């Protein structure tokens, strides 16, 4: 029997034998000390390898630390020697915490002429250059310098390493200057793996690539390549991975015929200028696992061969989003055995249906059909997609009820099927998906009550149910959701009370346009993250006492409710973020605190239709970003707040229906109100002459270039989490209109119902871009200035109920867009201008004057006046009896233009899958006032 001791000795002996066998000759002293000197050049710092190694989950540790004098360097970690000669032939120091630089005099270059493989990836070489001494490694077959903080020009010497089989220079700050890339490609004829991702090449792509017949991997992403990519690449016999995303100026096509012997597995072309149609022979790529061709310029339909079950057996990921593809989506794709990630969103003309039957072995995890023409019903068998984690079908044309079986998909984290035509009730099964993070069913036609009992949604951060027909009360589980961040249930038919929200993460709440009532829990203001609170058009009551807790609040919209009390003193100085304060149509009262601090962000302050009183706070002059100030329909009592003249951002000033009084003082500023486009002072007690200086200097109402007019609306800031649209009550063409979106080209002046006196200054004609002018119900005298004919954009002009004399200037016929004219109740005489828009006005426009004549009035003018041409439109007689604005038919051009402009809404909504991407869409459902917007934070 052998003892344990003997066994141990035998073991030791064997070990020794093994080692001496493997390393018959020890590593030379020369190479040992050269390696130790090389080690001296670095410090070891975890963070030198941290970002990359950790993110790809490679174990990183300081390999060199175990290198010690006196031991055989061939046994060192990361060192590989030739078994026969003991020459060091390989060095693998990837993820080794190296922090330092490799100087040209480094021992590494001088003692290792046999080196075949050098891997320094994932270290930190301090943005130093790659030394040209690399040329000394003449036998190098593998060189990896990936993600190791090299910078500058790749030395030309690298292209002399013609034995290279694998070269990876990716993810540094390197550039290959011409003709570097060409030389590299021409000389490295043996190369199998070439990874130059993020190396700035910025040149035309080289056809010599086609000579690299051994290529298995080619990664030229983010290289700034231009020109036409040689489609012969697709025919390289061994190519496995072709990855060339993000070369925006790189054009190319799929070759018309792709050989079935192709071994391509990964094909990534996104964000290039690849175009043309996808060929049918794409089905020959039998080994294809990943095809990512998003953000390209392809067109035509998706070849059915991509859905061929016998061919596409390996495909796991297919991304053709943002491509402009059309036609019918090949059903087969849904049945591919390994496809788990399918994204075809933003192919607006792509039609398709969800397959009626989905196999329960389907591996789908991620499915995005948004912004396509997909329609039909979601089948019950959708519940078979057991692995599904994310399903997005925003802005499609799906209808029918939401299948209860969706509730079987227990892995689901994100479900976004907003902007479809789903009907029926919200299936309560959905709320059993305990992993849900985001649920967006908004903008459908879901009706009925929300389920009252649920198991619990501990991770739900985003709940979008807005714009449906949901009624009943908001069940209490909603208020208890622990991780809720975004909650939108606006535009439904909900009733009842709102409870305290439990989630301390809550940032955005939109409950607008429901029938909710009762005190709104003011504790909500205490939530530390609260960013946007939209409660408009409900019947909430309560006060703002707690407002000052909401220090990150950006948007507060309480309009059309029954809130009361006064505005807390803190208003102007508690928050530097608040930029929308909309309290319209409530029962607020008291004075506005005069505490607006120098650093504030206010863009909109809308206090219209409340019971506010007292003066306009002087400190409003600190609101240098203020665009809209609406104080209308209150009991403010003050002189004209001339100190606002210097607010260079102010576009809308509404003081309508208050107790403002006195004359408008002569402006102290050279350019008062430089951006004012809407000025409504009507129904106050202003006196004195009209403010000539304003007419002369309101630049925003002059020379507006309509050609450069892109539809832009007030209140599109683009840097808040949520979107606010200014809503104003404006008298347009004589009728009070709620303007939901205020076009930034809309311009109007309304000074009516005051006691202004004196003449209308000729200078008013300088406001040549003004669309509406109402000076009615004052005591204005003198003539109608002919200069008004310069204001060619005028759509309505009301000078009625004044003491104007003289004739109507014939030049007013130039006002081609004039749709509404009221000159009644003055002392005008003479012939009414004929032709153009004047043919559309009725009696009401002229009644109660001294001696006007000609059509549409019955009394003819002096016979020497030439007869006007016949009326273009004969109006029914009964419509012209008794004057109201409503009976005046729109002019023949502008009603349409106006209607279009009013009806044209552009919305660009962001999916609430936060920070992931931007979804844009178009809708023209009026009455929408808010939208989520860019994630960019408000930065100034």
Ligand X SMILES: *[C@@H]1O[C@H](CO)[C@@H](O)[C@H](O)[C@H]1NC(C)=O
- Contact call for residues 314 and 265 (beta carbons, < 8 A): yes
Question: In whole angstroms, how close is the CB of 604 to ligand X at the nearest point?
Answer: 46
Q: Is 60 in the site for ligand X (CB under 6 A)?
A: no
Q: Which residues inside 543-582 make contact with ligand X, applying CB under 6 A?
A: none
Stretch that binds ligand X, among 53-61, 154-162, 261-269, 274-282 (CB under 6 A): 154-162
Q: For 39, which DSSP code? A: H
Q: Is 287 in the site for ligand X (CB under 6 A)?
A: no
Q: Which residues inside 348-377 make contact with ligand X, applying CB under 6 A?
A: none
Question: In whole angstroms, how close is the CB of 26 to ligand X at the nearest point?
Answer: 15
Q: Is 105 in the site for ligand X (CB under 6 A)?
A: yes
- Contact call for residues 672 and 624 (beta carbons, < 8 A): no
In sequence order, the β-bridge partners of residue 675 are: none
Question: In whole angstroms, how close is the CB of 43 to ligand X at the nearest point?
Answer: 5
Half-sphere exposure (CA, 13 Å, Cβ side) for 152?
Answer: 11
Question: In whole angstroms, how close is the CB of 382 to ligand X at the nearest point?
Answer: 23
Stretch that binds ligand X, among 98-106, 213-221, 504-512, 759-767 (CB under 6 A): 98-106
Strands 722-724 and 930-932: antiparallel
Question: In whole angstroms, how close is the CB of 12 to ligand X at the nearest point?
Answer: 20
One of 86, 94, 99, 619 touching ligand X (CB under 6 A): 99
One of 54, 72, 103, 564 touching ligand X (CB under 6 A): 103
Q: Is 48 in the site for ligand X (CB under 6 A)?
A: yes
Question: In whole angstroms, how close is the CB of 98 to ligand X at the nearest point?
Answer: 9
Gyration radius of the chain over CA positions: 37
- Contact call for residues 174 and 153 (beta carbons, < 8 A): yes
What DSSP string describes 168-200? E--SSEEE--TTHHHHHHHH-TT-SEEE-TT-B
List the structure tokens of 72: 């055989």
Q: Is 43 in the site for ligand X (CB under 6 A)?
A: yes
Site string for ligand X, 309-348 (x = CB under 6 A): -xx-------------------------------------
Query: Could you give the angle at the alpha carbon of 135 between the alpha carbons of 133 and 140, nearest 5°?
Result: 120
In sequence order, the β-bridge partners of residue 372 are: 347
Whichever of 207 and 781 has its CB closer to ligand X, that residue is: 207
Question: In whole angstroms, how close is the CB of 166 to ligand X at the nearest point?
Answer: 16
Question: In whole angstroms, how close is the CB of 232 to ligand X at the nearest point?
Answer: 9
Question: In whole angstroms, how close is the CB of 608 to ligand X at the nearest point?
Answer: 57
Among 32, 61, 39, smallest CA distance to 48 is for: 61
CA distance linking residue 479 with residue 289, whole number of Å: 44
List the structure tokens of 546: 């707690």
Whichever of 186 and 836 has its CB closer to ligand X, that residue is: 186
Whichever of 304 and 687 has its CB closer to ligand X, that residue is: 304
Whichever of 47 and 873 has its CB closer to ligand X, that residue is: 47
Whichever of 162 and 648 has its CB closer to ligand X, that residue is: 162
Stretch that binds ligand X, among 40-48, 359-367, 651-659, 792-800 (CB under 6 A): 40-48
One of 3, 5, 47, 453 touching ligand X (CB under 6 A): 47
Stretch that binds ligand X, among 97-105, 360-368, 489-497, 578-586 (CB under 6 A): 97-105
One of 63, 114, 124, 910 touching ligand X (CB under 6 A): 124
Question: In whole angstroms, how close is the CB of 296 to ligand X at the nearest point?
Answer: 24
Q: Is 680 in the site for ligand X (CB under 6 A)?
A: no
Whichever of 308 and 747 has its CB closer to ligand X, that residue is: 308
Cis peptide, bond prior to residue 332, ω within 30 of zero: no
**Residue 15: exposure state from Cβ atoms within 10 A (0-12, 13-18, ≥19):** exposed
Whichever of 124 and 692 has its CB closer to ligand X, that residue is: 124
Question: In whole angstroms, how close is the CB of 83 to ligand X at the nearest point?
Answer: 4
Question: In whole angstroms, how close is the CB of 487 to ligand X at the nearest point?
Answer: 42
Q: Is 160 in the site for ligand X (CB under 6 A)?
A: yes
Q: Is 92 in the site for ligand X (CB under 6 A)?
A: no
Q: Is 259 in the site for ligand X (CB under 6 A)?
A: no
What DSSP string describes 735-804? EEEEESS-BTT--EEE--SSEEEEE--GGGGG-TT--EEE--SSEEEEPPPGGGGG-TT--EEE--SSEE
Whichever of 304 and 908 has its CB closer to ligand X, that residue is: 304
List the structure tokens of 40: 């001296």
User: 């004052």: which residue's tokens?
Assistant: 778
Question: In whole angstroms, how close is the CB of 33 to ligand X at the nearest point?
Answer: 13
Question: In whole angstroms, how close is the CB of 253 to ligand X at the nearest point?
Answer: 18
CA distance linking residue 527 with residue 258, whole number of Å: 59
Question: In whole angstroms, how close is the CB of 190 to ligand X at the nearest point?
Answer: 10
Q: Is 763 in the site for ligand X (CB under 6 A)?
A: no
Residue 867, C-beta contacts closer than 8 angstroms, at least 6 positions apart: none
CA distance linking residue 822 with residue 514, whole number of Å: 39
Residue 686, C-beta contacts closer than 8 angstroms, at least 6 positions apart: 640, 660, 661, 662, 663, 664, 751, 754, 755, 756
Query: Could you give the angle at the alpha carbon of 177 between the alpha carbons of 175 and 183, nearest 5°?
Result: 110
Stretch that binds ligand X, among 39-47, 553-561, 658-666, 691-699 (CB under 6 A): 39-47
One of 6, 20, 71, 83 touching ligand X (CB under 6 A): 83
Q: Which residues inside 865-884 make contact with ligand X, applying CB under 6 A?
A: none
List the structure tokens of 161: 């390493």
* Other beta carbons within 10 Å of 666: 11
Q: Is 33 in the site for ligand X (CB under 6 A)?
A: no
Total number of residues that touch ligand X (CB under 6 A): 25
Stretch that binds ligand X, among 156-164, 167-175, 408-416, 467-475 (CB under 6 A): 156-164
Stretch that binds ligand X, among 70-78, 306-314, 864-872, 928-936 (CB under 6 A): 306-314
- Contact call for residues 148 and 168 (beta carbons, < 8 A): no
Site string for ligand X, 179-218 (x = CB under 6 A): ----x--xx-------------------xx-xx-------
Whichever of 40 and 523 has its CB closer to ligand X, that residue is: 40
Whichever of 109 and 274 has its CB closer to ligand X, that residue is: 109
Q: Where are the beta strands (DSSP E) in 321-437?
A: 326-328, 341-343, 347-353, 366-368, 372-377, 390-392, 397-401, 414-416, 421-424
662 phi and psi, to 5 degrees?
85, 175
Stretch that binds ligand X, among 158-166, 233-241, 294-302, 792-800 (CB under 6 A): 158-166
Q: For the chain, report the end-to-end CA distance as a whole number of angstroms.
A: 86
One of 159, 265, 776, 802 touching ligand X (CB under 6 A): 159
One of 45, 72, 543, 613 touching ligand X (CB under 6 A): 45
Question: In whole angstroms, how close is the CB of 159 to ligand X at the nearest point?
Answer: 4
Q: Where are the beta strands (DSSP E) in 460-527?
A: 462-464, 469-473, 486-488, 493-496, 508-510, 515-519
Whichever of 211 and 591 has its CB closer to ligand X, that residue is: 211
Whichever of 49 and 538 has its CB closer to ligand X, that residue is: 49
Where is 312: in which H helix or E strand? none
Among 419, 383, 427, 381, smallest CA distance to 401 is for: 427
In sequence order, the β-bridge partners of residue 729 are: 738
Strands 151-153 and 779-782: unpaired
CA distance linking residue 519 with residue 279, whole number of Å: 63
CA distance linking residue 86 with residue 45, whole number of Å: 31
Footprint on this chain of ligand X (rule: CB under 6 A) = 22, 43, 45, 47-48, 82-83, 99, 103, 105, 124, 159-160, 162, 183, 186-187, 207-208, 210-211, 304, 308, 310-311
């Amino acid at each position: 029997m052998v003892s344990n001791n003997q066994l141990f000795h035998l073991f030791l002996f064997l070990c020794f034998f093994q080692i001496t066998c493997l390393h018959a000759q020890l590593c030379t002293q020369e190479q040992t000390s050269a390696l130790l000197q090389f080690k001296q050049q670095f410090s070891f710092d975890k963070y030198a390898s941290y970002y990359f190694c950790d993110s790809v989950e490679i174990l990183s540790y300081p390999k060199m630390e175990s290198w010690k004098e006196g031991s055989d360097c061939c046994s060192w970690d990361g060192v590989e020697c030739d078994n026969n000669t003991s020459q060091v032939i390989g060095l693998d120091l990837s993820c080794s915490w190296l922090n330092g630089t490799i100087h040209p005099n480094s021992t590494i270059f001088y003692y290792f002429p046999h080196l075949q493989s050098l891997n320094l990836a994932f270290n930190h070489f301090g943005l130093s250059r790659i030394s040209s001494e690399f040329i000394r490694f003449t036998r190098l077959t593998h060189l990896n310098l990936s993600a190791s903080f090299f910078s500058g020009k790749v030395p030309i010497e690298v292209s002399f390493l013609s034995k290279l089989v694998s070269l990876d220079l990716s993810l540094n700050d390197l550039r290959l200057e011409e003709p570097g890339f060409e030389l590299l490609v021409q000389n490295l004829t043996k190369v199998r793996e070439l990874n130059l991702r993020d190396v700035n090449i910025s040149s035309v792509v080289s056809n010599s690539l086609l000579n690299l017949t051994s290529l298995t991997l080619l990664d030229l992403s983010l290289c700034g390549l231009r020109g036409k990519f040689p489609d012969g690449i697709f025919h390289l016999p061994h190519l496995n991975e072709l990855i060339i995303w993000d070369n925006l100026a790189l054009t190319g096509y799929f070759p018309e015929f792709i050989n079935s012997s192709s071994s391509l597995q990964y094909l990534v072309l996104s964000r290039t200028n690849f175009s043309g149609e996808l060929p049918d022979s794409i089905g020959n790529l039998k080994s294809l696992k990943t095809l990512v061709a998003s953000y390209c310029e392809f067109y035509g339909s998706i070849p059915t061969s991509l859905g061929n079950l016998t061919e596409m057996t390996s495909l796991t990921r297919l991304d053709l989003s943002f491509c402009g593809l059309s036609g019918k989506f090949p059903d087969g794709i849904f049945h591919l055995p390994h496809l788990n990630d399918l994204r075809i969103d933003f192919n607006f003309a792509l039609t398709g249906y969800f397959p009626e039957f989905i196999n329960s072995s389907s591996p789908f995890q991620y499915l995005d059909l948004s912004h396509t023409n997909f329609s039909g019903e979601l089948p019950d068998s959708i519940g078979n997609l057991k692995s599904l984690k994310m399903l997005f079908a925003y802005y499609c044309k799906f209808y029918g009820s939401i299948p209860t079986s969706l509730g079987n998909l227990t892995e689901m984290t994100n479900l976004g099927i907003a902007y479809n035509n789903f009907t029926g009730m919200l299936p309560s099964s959905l709320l059993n998906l305990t992993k849900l993070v985001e649920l967006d069913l908004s903008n459908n036609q879901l009706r009925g009550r929300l389920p009252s009992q649920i198991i619990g949604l501990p991770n739900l951060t985003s709940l979008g149910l807005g714009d449906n027909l949901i009624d009943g009360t908001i069940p209490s589980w909603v208020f208890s959701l622990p991780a809720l961040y975004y909650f939108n249930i606006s535009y439904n038919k909900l009733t009842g009370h709102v409870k305290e929200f439990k989630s301390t993460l809550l940032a955005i709440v939109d409950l607008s346009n429901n029938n909710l009532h009762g005190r709104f829990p003011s504790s909500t203001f205490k939530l530390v993250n609260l960013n946007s609170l939209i409660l408009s058009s409900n019947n909430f009551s309560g006060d703002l006492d707690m407002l000052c807790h909401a220090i990150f609040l950006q948007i507060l919209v309480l309009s059309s409710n029954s809130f009361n009390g006064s505005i807390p003193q803190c208003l102007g100085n508690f928050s530097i973020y608040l930029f929308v304060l909309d309290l319209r149509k409530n029962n607020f009262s008291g004075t506005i605190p005069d505490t607006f601090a120098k650093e504030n962000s206010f863009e909109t302050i809308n206090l219209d239709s409340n019971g506010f009183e007292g003066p306009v706070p002087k400190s409003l002059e600190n609101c240098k970003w203020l665009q809209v100030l609406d104080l209308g329909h209150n009991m403010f009592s003050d002189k004209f707040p001339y100190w606002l003249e210097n607010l260079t951002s102010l576009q809308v000033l509404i003081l309508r229906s208050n107790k403002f009084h006195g004359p408008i003082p002569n402006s102290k500023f050279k350019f008062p109100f430089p951006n004012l486009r809407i000025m409504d002072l009507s129904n106050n007690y202003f006196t004195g002459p009209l403010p000539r200086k304003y007419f002369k200097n309101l630049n925003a109402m002059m020379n507006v270039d309509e050609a450069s007019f892109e539809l832009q609306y007030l209140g599109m800031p683009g840097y808040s989490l949520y979107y606010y649209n200014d809503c104003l009550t404006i008298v347009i063409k004589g009728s009070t209109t709620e303007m939901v979106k205020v076009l930034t080209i809309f311009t109007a002046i309304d000074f009516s119902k005051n006691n202004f006196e004196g003449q209308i200054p000729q200078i008013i004609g300088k406001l040549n871009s003004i669309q509406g002018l109402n000076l009615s119900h004052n005591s204005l005298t003198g003539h109608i200035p002919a200069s008004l004919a310069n204001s060619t954009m005028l759509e309505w002009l009301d000078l009625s109920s004044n003491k104007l004399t003289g004739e109507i200037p014939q030049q007013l016929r130039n006002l081609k867009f004039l749709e509404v004219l009221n000159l009644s109740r003055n002392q005008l005489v003479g012939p009414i201008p004929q032709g153009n828009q004047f043919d559309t006005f009725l009696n009401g426009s002229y009644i109660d004057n001294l001696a006007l004549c000609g059509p549409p009035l019955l009394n003819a003018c002096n016979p020497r006046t030439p007869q006007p041409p016949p009326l273009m439109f004969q109006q029914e007689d009964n419509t012209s009896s008794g004057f109201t604005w409503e009976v005046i038919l729109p002019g023949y051009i502008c009603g349409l233009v106006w209607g279009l402009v009013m009806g044209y809404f552009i919305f660009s909504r962001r999916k609430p899958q936060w920070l992931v991407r931007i979804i844009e869409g178009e809708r023209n459902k009026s009455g929408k006032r808010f939208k989520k917007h860019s994630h960019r934070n408000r930065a100034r």
